[in-house]
Amino acid sequence: MDPIIPDLADAIESLVDTPILLVALDFDGTLAPLVDRPEDARPLPAASEALAELASLENTVTALISGRDLASLRAVAEPPERTLLVGSHGTERWAPTAFDAQDEHIDLSAGQTTALATATGILETISAANPGTTLEYKPASIVLHVRQASPDIATAALHAARQELDGIEHLQALDGKAVLEASVLEGTKGEGLNWLREVADASTVVFVGDDVTDEDAFAVLRPGDIGVKIGSGKTLAQFRLNGPGELPALMQSILNMRSL
């Protein structure tokens, strides 16, 4: 069964005349299926191939926007050379030299460094006490993963983490799918998508994402843009696909329209 419903097909058809199209994708749960260990994630081959073909087109710009830090995103995604990258929920930004853009990197203050160390100690203690939970260390955050834990342990671990992290200066807690991330950087994927739109000088944006943090990006889409939610859950996106396995069909449809 074709995952592209008629209304979505009509929206994609309208992309044929847009002067500059930006196609921005989340990575985990969107371009790549969710996995137990973040370092094991890889994009689906068909989606990766379609991304590379889109990146090669004139007047079509591709981007990945992720909660991962840029080093991790590059390692698992192996993005096309011309693809713009936004990591760490919008706070890390990189563009190829062909774009007139200033990159943004992580540079923590003393207060942020202290807050990250405090959060790391808290989550290490919680993870050690809750079997099946794991930690992911990033330059500006630490992430508690509970996907492999039993439901009751996962719930208890996340509750304890939220309680103990609450009130720490310079720290924000971000909820995701079976994760809680303690970050010392303030940023959203919405801010990251706005930066991508400006850098690409895009007239129309397609954004595809699956997680709670992707809603910030859906929220900044404009009339004529296309937002596609992967999976279940409440969303601001106009359209929905059932899972990452349906993304290649969407990307191929866009590719066909932009290749006319």
Retrieve residue 74's tokens: 């590059």
Could you give the CA distance from residue 22 to residue 51 in angstroms, rounded to a whole number?
A: 12
Retrieve residue 172's tokens: 């924000």
Q: Which residues contact 82 (CB under 8 A, 6 or more apart)?
A: 55, 56, 61, 62, 96, 98
Could you give the CA distance from residue 30 to residue 241 in angstroms, rounded to a whole number?
A: 10
Asked if residues 106 and 140 have their Cβ atoms less than 8 Å apart, the reply is yes
Compute and round to an integer the Cα radius of gyration of the chain.
18
Could you give the CA distance from residue 227 to residue 205 in angstroms, rounded to a whole number?
A: 8
Could you give the CA distance from residue 88 to residue 182 in angstroms, rounded to a whole number?
A: 11
The answer to whether 26 is a known catalytic residue is yes
Among candidate residues 2, 7, 26, 152, the one labeled active-site is 26
Report the catalytic residues.
26
